[in-house]
Amino acid sequence: KQEQYRKLKSQPAVTRDGVPIVLQINAGLLVDLPNLEATAAAGIGLFRTELQFMVAEHMPTTSEQQALYTAVLDQAQGRPVTFRTLDIGGDKVLPYMERVEEENPALGWRAIRIGLDKPRLLRAQIRALLRAGSGRDMKIMLPMIATVDEFLRARTIVDREQAMLAKQGHVPPLSLQLGVMVEVPSLLFELPEIVREADFLSIGTNDLMQFLFAADRENKRVADRFDPLGVGALRALRSIVEAAADANCPVTVCGEMGGKPLETLALIGLGYRAFSMSAASIGPVKAMLRALDVGKLTERIDWMLASGEGAASLRPQLAAFAAEF
């Protein structure tokens, strides 16, 4: 198998019936960068910036942050990198930061919520990102956005930092795209607005499924109780990709779901065409999709979703379809 995946490296990520699929990798530290070359991935679809904060002994300064982002962009050699702003809080605690005791950390003060309440931290990070992106294409995305209003408030902060840097004579990024992680279900009820406001969407299926089913992603007792290949979850995922297509808003799946071949197959059937996953998943997913007939799959999934009422999981049907080719 490893040998087979190695051979696939030089093959394009295109389905048997000619549909191109974008495969990117998730990363968080400089040591992950060689994976770009090793997998021939199209870029980094999710760079988890909190990793630098989690391994550090003190709060990384703005210039330390900038140095990392610059090194990442340098080593990516022109391939796109999507930086996610700090996703701390919840279970990701920083040893040097004051700890807040919370009954339900996953539902608590985390990610963009901290960013908006303590804008100094978010502003410093945005500044570091914009400086590192000087003269290059820059993509930034925001974690745990629950409402369009939160996105607009974050955008105001980004705009203000950009204006300030311009005033100081810094060369701005060539282009700046500000995207949103779709991982809190409330956003599914503001899709028409969020696809208009955001420059792109990235689906964080780990958190989205956790919150959709109200099942802690770390709690084995309940985490496997609900299948993301159930009718409810697939309909939710389809509503996102349809809203994005209507508004011409690019959308990527960056949660673990996108790195499992059968799950990725289902997502392609729903209309997704771009994925970001752990480097080790690229080979298996590429092998799957190169054998795939998207035309047939789309028809089959539409039928399964229409006729699958009440099905806790379409996994057996999807596996049967996958076994046909």
Instruction: Name the site residues for Mg ion (rule: CB under 5 A).
Output: 183, 204, 207
Minimum distance, C-beta of residue 181 to ligand PEP, in the bound complex (Å):
7
Minimum distance, C-beta of residue 272 to ligand PEP, in the bound complex (Å):
14
In the list 32, 150, 161, 183, the residue contacting ligand PEP (rule: CB under 6 A) is 183
Pairwise CA distance, residues 44 & 279, whole Å: 10
Query: Is 48 one of the binding residues for ligand PEP (CB under 6 A)?
Result: yes
DSSP string, 238-302: HHHHHHHHHTT--EEE-SGGGGSHHHHHHHHHHT--EEEE-GGGHHHHHHHHHT--HHHHHHHHH
In the list 89, 204, 228, 284, the residue contacting ligand PEP (rule: CB under 6 A) is 204
Structure tokens at 120: 């100094």
Query: Which span sits near ligand PEP by CB under 6 A: 62-70, 205-213, 229-237, 303-311?
Result: 205-213
Q: Which partner from the list Mg ion, ligand PEP, none does 254 bind, CB cut-off 5 to 8 Å by kind?
A: ligand PEP
Q: Which partner from the list ligand PEP, Mg ion, none does 205 bind, CB cut-off 5 to 8 Å by kind?
A: ligand PEP
Pairwise CA distance, residues 263 & 180, whole Å: 22
Q: Which partner from the list ligand PEP, Mg ion, none does 70 bind, CB cut-off 5 to 8 Å by kind?
A: none
Minimum distance, C-beta of residue 28 to ligand PEP, in the bound complex (Å):
9
Minimum distance, C-beta of residue 254 to ligand PEP, in the bound complex (Å):
5
Q: Which residues fall within 8 angstroms of residue 89, CB to CB, at 6 or more apart?
A: 100, 105, 108, 109, 110, 111, 113, 114
Query: Which span sits near ligand PEP by CB under 6 A: 66-74, 150-158, 167-175, 198-206?
Result: 198-206
Query: Is 70 one of the binding residues for ligand PEP (CB under 6 A)?
Result: no
Pairwise CA distance, residues 272 & 244, whole Å: 10
Pairwise CA distance, residues 157 & 117, whole Å: 12
By CB under 6 A, the count of residues binding ligand PEP is 10
Query: Which span sits near ligand PEP by CB under 6 A: 94-102, 201-209, 236-244, 298-306?
Result: 201-209
Pairwise CA distance, residues 156 & 233, whole Å: 32
CB atoms within 10 A of CB 63: 12
Structure tokens at 37: 């070359």
Minimum distance, C-beta of residue 25 to ligand PEP, in the bound complex (Å):
12
Minimum distance, C-beta of residue 183 to Mg ion, in the bound complex (Å):
5
Q: Which partner from the list ligand PEP, Mg ion, none does 48 bind, CB cut-off 5 to 8 Å by kind?
A: ligand PEP
Torsion angles phi and psi, residue 259, rounded to 5:
-105, 0
Query: Is 207 one of the binding residues for ligand PEP (CB under 6 A)?
Result: yes
